[in-house]
């Protein structure tokens, strides 16, 4: 057994009730009978943090059993959800008052529902949030995936989260097998970056050290949107892992194709984690140039290389009243001055309009996904 506690993400299902514009996972769902079982979850190592995600995790009606099992090996659990299944979320939180819930809301009402493709999606997500606040659930937050269509909603959403005393998590568009997507891209980088810049300033103004570090994360998001190398090294697969609904253990969810270190259904944790196959994946991580900046890979790096974000925070807090300016990133200045073009920045991104996306499904599930797509078309 690995001595050190790890940071793990458990993808309990690839099924999803939403139809997000930046993610095609709903078109390539897992089959319920294939999805990770309690027996496989029992084999996971000790973790200091576990994120449960999907698809939409609350589609699984045995999620309470999964959380119960995971709490035996994890110090902290946070579930990412679109917030639609209010009753299931409330019921789970009643049983596990210590679990964290992050509801993704992609903008104010109209923007959210347009992006999410769920009728009443905003209403459902927001009312779930309100109910959790009313029941005084201690660890609730919401997150948004920043893109051209919702950049204007960042400030109002941050204000709502602040008033409700919640965490506000941000991400931006990524392409990978996990999202079954290769065409995501930010088109108006300066406009989107300016909205994030405002958020960075709001976060830096607060009295919460946690928010100051979130400001650094958002500074890194601007850097990512401009297609630059990560501000911090990526150490996924070294002390962090993802496991998919099939029991395949992977370094992360950002790779173009699914990278498999081993399978926990058929192997023990020690066997797969210490295998030559796992080491080969680690070698690929060392060479990876996708420069993702998602909380799953940035947060462990921010803890590991704490002196770098801490120094950034200190410098900005010591500026005493002087605002954060995204022009501290050289690429922002270069773009504005014409030293680098939009086409050059597009080429630095992971967007590939000609890519055939690998959805990471085994053959049997691919067959079922194709059948269900066909039956949707026939309706
Ligand atoms: S982003 Fe999340 S909620 Fe949206 S389709 Fe993908 S898995 Fe579902
Ligand atoms: S940069 Fe890191 S998180 Fe992103 S694909 Fe590469 S290894 Fe994965």
**Ligand 2 probe mutation, 9, 281, 282, 290, most atoms within 8 A of CB:** 290
What are residue 375's phi and psi, to 5 degrees?
-70, -30
Contact present, 85 and 64 (Cβ < 8 Å): no
**Atom 7 in ligand 2: which residue has the minimum CA distance?**
285
Contact present, 185 and 349 (Cβ < 8 Å): yes
Q: Is the CB of 125 under 6 A from ligand 2?
A: no
List the one residue out of 372, 85, 364, 82 whose CA is nearest residue 246: 364
| Nearest-10 crossing angle of helices 86-95, 63-71 | 30
Give DSSP secondary structure letters for 151-182.
Answer: GGGHHHHHHHHHHTT-EEEEEE---BTTTTBS
Task: Please name which ligand lies nearest the alpha carbon of 58.
Answer: 1
Q: How many other C-beta atoms lie within 10 A of the C-beta of residue 74? A: 24
**Atom 6 in ligand 1: which residue has the minimum CA distance?**
23
pTM, entire model: 0.93
pLDDT at residue number 373: 54
Q: Is the CB of 118 under 6 A from ligand 1?
A: no
Say how far apart CA 3 and CA 208 lie, in whole Å.
33
Q: Is the CB of 16 under 6 A from ligand 2?
A: no
Confidence band for 2, pLDDT divided at 50, 70 and 90? very low
Report how far ligand 1's centroid is from the alpha carbon of 376 (Å).
Answer: 18
Confidence band for 181, pLDDT divided at 50, 70 and 90? very high
Looking from the CA of residue 284, the nearest atom of ligand 2 is 7
Task: Please name which ligand lies nearest the alpha carbon of 84.
Answer: 1
Query: What is the chain's alpha carbon radius of gyration, rounded to the nearest angstrom?
Result: 20
Report how far ligand 2's centroid is from the alpha carbon of 176 (Å).
Answer: 10
Q: Distances in Å between the alpha carbon of 221 and those of 11, 73, 86, 231, 293?
A: 24, 32, 30, 10, 6
Beta bridge partners of 169: 143
Looking from the CA of residue 54, the nearest atom of ligand 1 is 7
Tokens standing for residue 265: 């259904």
Q: Is the CB of 292 under 6 A from ligand 2?
A: yes
> For 94-147, how does the pLDDT look when each residue is reduced to its tens digit (9 = 90+)?
999 999 999 999 999 999 999 999 888 999 999 999 999 999 999 999 899 999
* Rama region for 366: left / alpha / beta (φ>0; ψ in -120 to 50; rest): alpha
Q: How confident is the prediction for the chain on average, in pLDDT?
A: 93
């Amino acid at each position: 057994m690995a001595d050190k506690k790890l940071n793990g993400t458990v993808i309990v299902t690839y099924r999803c009730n939403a139809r997000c514009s930046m993610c095609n996972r709903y078109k390539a769902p897992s089959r319920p009978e294939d999805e990770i079982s309690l027996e496989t979850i029992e084999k996971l190592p000790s973790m200091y943090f576990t994120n449960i995600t999907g698809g939409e995790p609350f589609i699984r009606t045995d999620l309470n059993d999964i959380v119960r099992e995971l709490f035996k090996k994890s110090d902290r659990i946070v579930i990412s959800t679109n917030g639609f299944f209010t009753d299931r979320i409330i019921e789970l939180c009643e049983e596990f008052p210590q679990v964290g819930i992050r509801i993704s809301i992609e903008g104010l009402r109209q923007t959210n529902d347009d992006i999410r493709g769920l009728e009443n999606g905003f209403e459902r997500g927001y009312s779930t949030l309100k109910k959790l606040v009313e029941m005084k659930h201690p660890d609730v937050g919401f997150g948004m995936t920043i893109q051209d269509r919702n950049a204007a909603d960042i400030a109002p959403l941050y204000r709502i989260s602040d008033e409700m005393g919640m965490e506000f998590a941000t991400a931006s568009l990524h392409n990978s097998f996990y999202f079954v997507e290769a065409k995501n891209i930010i088109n108006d980088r300066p406009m989107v970056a300016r909205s994030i810049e405002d958020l960075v300033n709001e976060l830096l103004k607060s009295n919460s050290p946690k928010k100051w570090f979130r400001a650094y994360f958002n500074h890194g998001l601007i850097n990512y949107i401009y297609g630059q190398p990560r501000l911090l090294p990526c150490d996924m697969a070294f002390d962090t892992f993802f496991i998919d609904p099939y029991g395949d253990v992977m370094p992360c969810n950002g790779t173009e194709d699914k990278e498999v270190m081993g399978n926990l259904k058929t192997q023990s944790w020690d066997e797969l984690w210490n295998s030559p196959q796992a080491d080969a994946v680690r070698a690929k991580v060392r060479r990876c140039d996708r420069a993702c900046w998602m909380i799953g890979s940035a947060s462990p790096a921010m803890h590991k290389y704490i002196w770098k974000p801490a120094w950034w925070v200190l410098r900005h807090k010591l500026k005493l009243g002087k605002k954060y300016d995204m022009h501290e990133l050289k690429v922002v200045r270069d773009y504005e001055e014409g030293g680098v073009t939009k086409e050059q920045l597009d080429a630095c991104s992971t967007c590939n309009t000609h890519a055939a996306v690998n959805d990471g499904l085994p053959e049997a599930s691919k067959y079922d996904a194709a059948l269900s797509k066909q039956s949707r078309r026939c309706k």
